Amino acid sequence: MVKNNMKYAFLIPSGHQMVPSLLFQQWVPFQEWLAKNEDGIIMNMVASNQIEGRNKLLTRGDQSKPYEFAKTVEWFIFIDADIKFSLPQMQELMYSKELFVSGWYIFNPNNRTSLVGYWKDEPTLLSPKEILSHKEMFEVDHVAGGFMKIHSSLIQQLEFPFYYIPKIERPNGDPTWVAEDLIFARNVYEKTGIKPKVIPTLKVGHVKWVVI
């Protein structure tokens, strides 16, 4: 195996949502801090959708050799283009020792749940109240990919494409599509035995015209 020569790769997939202008102010000081204090690179990928963007970022655009980039990086950190964070929040995510860990955020103003949850007969999502009822980091079946860190060794054990949207059958027999973040977490667990953990105090903003 090629020895990792970079500690962090910060991946920003931009699909239909570009980085809102009010969020540029968070990236400049973070980039300055990163250059002075850590070994990492910030990468942005504009794609037609999040799935394409995530797959291209994890392969650094070379999908014919999907594992080569992961062999040169220790940690991947995904930050969606519409996520509002502070430097202390980013540091908390960066310095967690868990191999697969995430903060959380509200989905949108009309659906005030998270993508954090459990896979029972079908994916179930936790409310902010349920997340905040935990005093310490806790394990779940799936997390949102918008503010998430994963060790590159886990990526190297997955089949490519790493992200996709499958159709599953509900208990009542009706088919439904499953979000790529949810199936990604399930695939990580099936291949590595590791489930994601959530830091309940690490709530970041999700910009949908307003910060929610």
Residues β-bridged to residue 175: 169
53 within domain boundaries: yes
66 within domain boundaries: yes
Identity at 130, one-letter amino acid code = E
Residue linked to tokens 């797959």: 55
Parent domain of 150: 6-211
Q: Are 10 and 79 in contact (CB under 8 A)?
A: yes
As a whole number of angstroms, the distance between CA 159 and CA 10 comes to 21
Bond before 171 cis per omega within 30 degrees: no
pLDDT at res. 212: 60
Tally of domains within the chain: 1
133 within domain boundaries: yes
192 within domain boundaries: yes
23 within domain boundaries: yes
1 within domain boundaries: no
pLDDT at res. 128: 94
Q: Within a 10 A sphere around the Cβ of 166, how many other Cβ atoms?
A: 13
39 within domain boundaries: yes
User: Which residues touch 205 (CB under 8 Å, ≥6 apart)?
Assistant: 83, 84, 85, 105, 211, 212
The CATH number that applies at residue 190 is: 3.90.550.40
pLDDT at res. 177: 75
40 within domain boundaries: yes
pLDDT at res. 169: 66
Q: Are 47 and 81 in contact (CB under 8 A)?
A: no
Q: One digit per residue, pLDDT tens: the chain, 212 residues?
A: 445 589 999 999 986 656 666 688 899 999 999 999 999 999 999 888 889 999 999 999 999 999 999 999 999 999 998 999 999 999 999 999 999 999 999 988 777 888 899 988 778 999 999 999 999 999 999 999 999 999 999 999 999 999 999 866 666 667 677 889 999 999 999 999 999 999 999 999 998 765 66
